[in-house]
Amino acid sequence: MKIIARFAQTIFVFCLPLIVFTGSVAWAVNSAWLYTSGFEKYGVQQILEQNGLPLTENDLDNIARDFIHYFNSSEEFIHITVQIDGQIIELFNEEETIHFKDVKDLFRLDYAVLLGTFIYCLIFAVGCIFWRRGKYHSFLARSAVIGSGVSLGIMLILLVAILLDFDSLFYQFHLISFTNEFWSAEGNMLLLFPGGFWYDMFTYGALFAVALALIPGLAGGIYLRFVRRRKRKSDQHPQSNTQ
């Protein structure tokens, strides 16, 4: 039984960093604030206007919502249009739409990993809570603390890598993740999403992951501290506990 418990614990510990990472990616993908604040910070509206695409702030807000809708829809290719001087214009060319499809496939994989690891961790937690009348409560808490520590270590390393050499990290990410070079396709995609935009998104995502990783560790640590304090009180007053 101990071998099975340790094996299940090991899987749980490795699942927690995956939940933290994929959860932070899912948060970033669906955060309209990250899109709109990035557009404003890097002067995307002015850049587009200089390149013959005068869009309003409301247009950019709609584009952000369209991206979030696309990444969560069953549509194969993205289809965003804007109206300029009474004419309907496609925002992205063919190469760009293919790249966004590749990105969407990565997000689908992210969602699948998030769901699978979350289900396993939920089953593990429920089993520890109810198996043998709570005998494994402390075991669950220790597992959460260990998993949280592993998650924090990984996310902090990622955050440091982002801060030290983001350009190289971002470039290697594209070489590994995509089988074509459409990620560098010329068009409105690079105007909408300059390098600084992605630096901020990765940084905020890593910070969110760090915060997320703290939750199970803090919960487990608080519970273990409570158990230790209760045990000390019990050891100090053995007679009152036996009466």
Q: Are the C-beta atoms of 81 and 93 separated by less than 8 Å?
A: no
Is residue 139 assigned to a domain? yes
Q: Which pLDDT tens digit goes with each residue over 27-85?
A: 999 999 999 999 999 999 999 999 999 999 999 999 999 999 999 999 999 999 999 88
Is residue 111 assigned to a domain? yes
Is residue 50 assigned to a domain? no
Phi, psi of 89 (to 5 degrees): -120, 135
- Greatest Cα pair distance in the chain: 87
Q: In this structure, what token pair is assigned to residue 126?
A: 């429920």
Q: Are strands 87-90 and 81-84 parallel, antiparallel or unpaired?
A: antiparallel
Distances (CA, A) of 113 to 39, 109, 170, 182: 30, 6, 22, 25
pLDDT < 70 regions, the chain: 1, 132-134, 235, 237-243
pLDDT of residue 90: 94
Whole-number Å distance between alpha carbons of 219 and 163: 29
pLDDT of residue 196: 95
pLDDT of residue 243: 45
Give how many domains the chain has, as a whole number: 1
Which residue type occupies 88?
Answer: I
Task: Give Cα 238 to chain centroid, integer Å.
Answer: 48
Is residue 138 assigned to a domain? yes
Is residue 182 assigned to a domain? yes
With tokens 């249009």, the residue in question is 81
Q: How many CA atoms lie less than 13 Å away from 18 in the CB half-sphere?
A: 18
pLDDT of residue 41: 96
Domain that includes residue 173, residue range: 2-41+107-237
Q: Bridge-partner residues for 83, per DSSP?
A: 88
Q: Are the C-beta atoms of 164 and 200 separated by less than 8 Å?
A: no
Beta strands in the chain (DSSP E): 81-84, 87-90
Q: In this structure, what token pair is assigned to residue 149?
A: 């520590």
The angle at the Cα of 66, spanning 64 to 70, to the nearest 5 degrees, equals 120
- Cα torsion 165, 176, 28, 193: sign: positive
Distances (CA, A) of 90 to 66, 84, 96: 13, 10, 11
Q: In this structure, what token pair is assigned to residue 47?
A: 């850049």
Is residue 93 assigned to a domain? no
Whole-number Å distance between alpha carbons of 228 and 34: 43
pLDDT of residue 21: 97
Task: Give Cα 202 to chain centroid, integer Å.
Answer: 9
pLDDT of residue 240: 52
Whole-number Å distance between alpha carbons of 25 and 37: 17
